[in-house]
A and B are shown apart, each in its own frame.
Chain A
Amino acid sequence: ILMTQFPATLSVSPGETATLSCRASQNVGSKVAWYQQKPGQSPCLLISDASTRATGIPARFSGSGSGTDFTLTIIGLQSDDFALYYCQHYIYQSQWTFGQGTKVEV
């Protein structure tokens, strides 16, 4: 299963809303996670099961979608949110594929 993210780069201003997209090559139900990766750091789980925020993740992060199309929305971007974001499916073991990432930049 391929995960395709778009756009590759998203330019937004602080305080604005960022909408990131992820498309699966086949139906993955709601078994999609989103991760944030800041420069020089390891990824951090933001969202699981397409829409459930991980522990400690602010409410400005929200996920939606099912089947093949998924969205990560960040409302009121803060300086700390400018980073790389990856989607991942986990519907089948041994096939934990990630999207290629979307860079959110100022």
Chain B
Amino acid sequence: QAQLVESGGGVVQPGKSLRLSCAGSGFPFSTRGIHWVRQVPGKGLEWLAVTSYDANYKEVADSVKGRFSISRENSKNTVYLDMNSLRPEDTAVYYCARDAGIYSGLPREPFDVWGPGTMVTVFS
């Protein structure tokens, strides 16, 4: 069945960078938009970024714009979230999630498959 698995989380010092990966399997990865969402432990969900199936459309939330960027390599069935200038408040579980739209140039559907998440801790 369709699966997403995040990797790359860990403990990092403030100001440093980290790259998260989201690997998809069990479905035609290159046909789907992929989102990143984070959740501070014990708190709610915050949408961060999206890439369309072909990477022609990308968007990043205002709260992380200029520090986070999203990219994808369909040949590797992988989407990345590059996080720079990390802050303690970026500490959270980071999820990738599949947009329910197929071949959508402007992903605008619910998130029908989620990965288990990867924890990022920004700590000095």
B16 at the interface (CB under 8 A from A): no
Asked, given contacts A94-B59, A99-B44, A100-B44, whether A42 binds B117 with beta carbons under 8 Å apart, the answer is yes
Dominant secondary structure at the A interface: loop
> Chain A interface residue count: which class?
20 to 34
Which chain B positions have C-beta within 8 A of A92?
108
> Which residues from 23 to 77 on chain A have a C-beta closer than 8 Å to any C-beta of chain B?
33, 35, 41-45, 48, 54
Question: Which of A41, A88, A96 is most buried by chain B, counting CB atoms within 10 A of its CB?
Answer: A96
Residue in A54, A91, A93, A98 whose beta carbon sits within 8 Å of that of B45 in the complex: A98
> Which residues from 1 to 48 on chain B have a C-beta closer than 8 Å to any C-beta of chain A?
35, 44-47
Quote the shortest CB–CB distance from A50 to chain B (angstroms): 11
Tally of A-B Cβ pairs under 8 angstroms: 57
Q: How many residues of B contact A (CB 8 A)?
A: 23
Asked, given contacts A48-B109, A90-B108, A90-B109, whether A98 binds B115 with beta carbons under 8 Å apart, the answer is no
A86 at the interface (CB under 8 A from B): yes
Closest to A98 in B: B45
Residue in B57, B106, B110 whose beta carbon sits within 8 Å of that of A45 in the complex: B110
Question: Which of A33, A93, A98, A99 is most buried by chain B, counting CB atoms within 10 A of its CB?
Answer: A93
In the complex the two chains form, is A33's CB within 8 Å of B114's CB? Answer: no
A19 at the interface (CB under 8 A from B): no
Which chain A positions have C-beta within 8 A of B55?
none
Which chain A positions have C-beta within 8 A of B115?
42
